[in-house]
Amino acid sequence: MNDSNDRALFDFVFLVGCGRSGTSWLQRVIATHPEIATGPETRLFEHLRPLLRAFEQGLSADNLSSYLSQEEFLDRTRDYIRSLFANTVREADASCFLEKAPPHGWYLPEMHRLFPDAPIVHLIRDGRDVACSHVAISEKWILSGWEDAPTTIPEALDLWVEYVAWVRQRGAELGPLYLEVRYEDLVADPEPQLASIFRHLRLDYSSNLVRREMKHLDRAMPIRTEIGSWQTQFTESDHWYCRKVAGELLMQLGYGGTGNS
């Protein structure tokens, strides 16, 4: 298959969310749809951002326009990205590639610049539970190369607040392309939440298909249901810091009280 056919063959859909929010599980559930192909996280847009910004901000100063116009550069970058995933999409006989990587939430403007029609799903989990989960595996993160991974509840809350607030702000600028889904709602009543997600991704939704595939997925990768674990893990100091830093955002998102008074 030639490049032009690959380019026309499939669309992109994006799934983002702060780490430890359940994005890996949701990725696998979405991928049960026959029109969806997906794969491991790539951190692709993190690597592309410097080049994209160079073309957007420094065409004349860096003489880049002597070789390519901005639109030519964007077209070639799109071709490059599609070429990375074309085999995966073709082998799955799919029409969309689902790109999931929590860090990509920081790069929504770049993703939208390259794929202006691509829908984005933002999975949000209670930041207090996210913080507990981050701290529980902080040593793993550090050993894997994330040297400044949060190792305390306050550090993890800071990350959650910064990430979620940023993605929500940028997502609001995208209008109907952006959809927020709460992890807790997905756990409590998966089918209507999945129906909403598939509609947002412009895909036909079959409840029978998703029910059948979810049974297989639950055996292989059970959905995490540690909701409210922060209530037994937070110290008094953690409660105080949470109210100070994350209280307003938690309330905006519909989460209950922010801890001990």
The predicted pLDDT at position 51 comes to 83
Q: Cα Rg for the chain, rounded, in angstroms?
A: 20
Who's near 205: CB < 8 A, 6+ residues apart?
194, 195, 198, 199
The predicted pLDDT at position 62 comes to 60
Where the chain has pLDDT below 70, the residues are 1-9, 58-64, 141, 143, 210, 213-214, 216-225, 257-261
DSSP H or E segment with residue 240 = helix 236-245
DSSP H or E segment with residue 47 = helix 44-57
The predicted pLDDT at position 101 comes to 93
Cα 229–Cα 232–Cα 235 angle in degrees, nearest 5: 120
- Say how far apart CA 234 and CA 203 lie, in whole Å: 41
- Say how far apart CA 209 and CA 32 lie, in whole Å: 8
Cα 39–Cα 43–Cα 49 angle in degrees, nearest 5: 135
In a domain, 23, yes or no: yes
In a domain, 261, yes or no: no
The predicted pLDDT at position 217 comes to 64
The predicted pLDDT at position 132 comes to 94
Q: In what order do the strands lie in the sheet with 178-182?
A: 36-38, 96-100, 11-16, 120-124, 178-182
CB atoms within 10 A of CB 219: 8
Domain count of the fold of the chain: 1
The predicted pLDDT at position 145 comes to 73
CATH code assigned at 41: 3.40.50.300
The predicted pLDDT at position 6 comes to 44
The predicted pLDDT at position 189 comes to 86
Q: Is 61 exposed, middle or buried (0-12, 13-18, 19+ CB in 10 A)?
A: exposed
The predicted pLDDT at position 4 comes to 42
Structural domain for 34, as ranges: 3-252
The predicted pLDDT at position 1 comes to 36
In a domain, 109, yes or no: yes
Instruction: Decide: 41 and 98 in contact? Cβ < 8 Å.
Output: no
In a domain, 259, yes or no: no
